[in-house]
């Protein structure tokens, strides 16, 4: 995929997951969110700059050190400058969490539904608590998560499936510039293989198309998560590019 398209999708995904604080560093975005998620606590080297690479990396490391977070860079094939990944690797940064970014035409997605599936246009403490329970997020991160999601400026909708009085599945769609990003699809282990994830993805995409004229959906899935990859293949998603993180090993 060409550099401009990668940057476009990266911009969408960054807006869909707002950090508590963003610092500008000569074409890079340094995002901080009290340690909750890599993507919200990492450098996004999206645009060209003029400062020497060593100086920019050192500045970012100093910021991370001040807030007590391991220096972390999120990289794609469009990262600026081109030699950044090799430089970080040579200076003690380990590669982690390779992730597949996938796209699908919403018109091609199957239309499905599920009992107990609801959409809400605002995030609630109940939704956050359910997502945290389904994915093992520590309770200390719940206030940060809710603050981040309440700060969303693009149109968004939160999906949940409630069965027997309990939320057993969650999902989120964020729409911007005719694209819908799917995030936080999680299903209770006791309710998997019942079509809930498929129904949520389908319903979220249909909402985006009907309410906003959205034509394209994108999502991010860890590259070795075969069950999720299989699900998204069945839905028609195709890999567009990958990203990965470089994290300073000595800072752990």
Residue with tokens 């539904």: 113
Q: Are residues 132 and 212 in the same domain?
A: yes
Query: What's the pLDDT tens digit per position in 63-103?
Result: 999 999 999 999 999 999 989 999 999 999 999 999 999 99
83 and 162, same domain (yes or no): no
Residues 148, 211, single domain; the answer is yes
Q: Helix, strand, or coil here: 72?
A: strand
Q: Do 200 and 130 lie in a common domain?
A: yes
In terms of pTM, does the model score above 0.95? no
Which of the residues in the chain have pLDDT under 50? 252
Q: Which helix (H) or strand (E) holds 162?
A: strand 155-163
CATH number at residue 7: 3.40.630
Q: pLDDT tens-digit profile of 166-176?
A: 899 999 999 99
* Token pair for 15: 């807006």
Rg (C-alpha) for the chain, rounded Å, is 18
Residue 25 sits at the vertex; the CA angle it makes with 40 and 241, to the nearest 5 degrees, is: 55
Residues 225 and 118 in one domain: yes
How confident is the model at residue 153, as a pLDDT? Answer: 93
26: tokens are 């000569």
Do 81 and 206 sit in the same domain of this protein? no
One domain for residues 27 and 61: yes
70, 251 in Cβ contact below 8 A?
Answer: yes
Could you list the residue range(s) of the whole structural domain that residue 74 is in? Answer: 3-98+243-251
228 half-sphere exposure, CB direction, 13 A CA radius? 19
Give the chain's domain count. Answer: 2
In this structure, are 116 and 130 located in the same domain? Answer: yes
């Amino acid at each position: 995929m060409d550099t401009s398209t990668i940057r476009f999708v990266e911009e969408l995904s960054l807006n869909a997951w707002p950090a508590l604080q963003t610092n500008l560093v000569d074409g890079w975005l340094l995002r901080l969110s009290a340690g909750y998620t890599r993507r919200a606590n990492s450098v996004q080297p999206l645009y060209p700059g003029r400062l020497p690479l060593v100086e920019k990396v050192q500045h970012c490391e100093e910021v991370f050190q001040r807030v007590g977070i391991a220096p972390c860079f999120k990289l794609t094939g469009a990262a600026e400058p081109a030699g950044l990944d090799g430089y970080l690797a040579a200076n003690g940064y380990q590669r982690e969490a390779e992730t597949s970014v996938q796209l699908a035409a919403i018109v091609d997605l199957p239309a499905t539904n599920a009992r107990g599936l609801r959409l809400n246009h605002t995030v609630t403490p109940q939704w956050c608590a359910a997502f945290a329970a389904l994915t093992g997020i520590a309770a200390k991160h719940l206030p940060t998560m809710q603050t981040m999601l309440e700060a969303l400026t693009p149109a968004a909708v939160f999906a949940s499936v409630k069965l027997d009085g309990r939320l057993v599945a969650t999902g989120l769609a964020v729409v911007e510039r005719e694209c819908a990003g799917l995030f936080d699809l999680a299903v209770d282990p006791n309710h998997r293989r019942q079509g809930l994830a498929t129904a949520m993805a389908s319903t979220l995409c249909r909402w985006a198309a009907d309410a906003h004229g959205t034509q394209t959906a994108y999502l991010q899935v860890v590259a070795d998560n075969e069950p999720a990859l299989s699900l998204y293949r069945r839905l028609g998603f195709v890999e567009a590019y990958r990203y990965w993180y470089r994290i300073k090993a000595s800072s752990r």
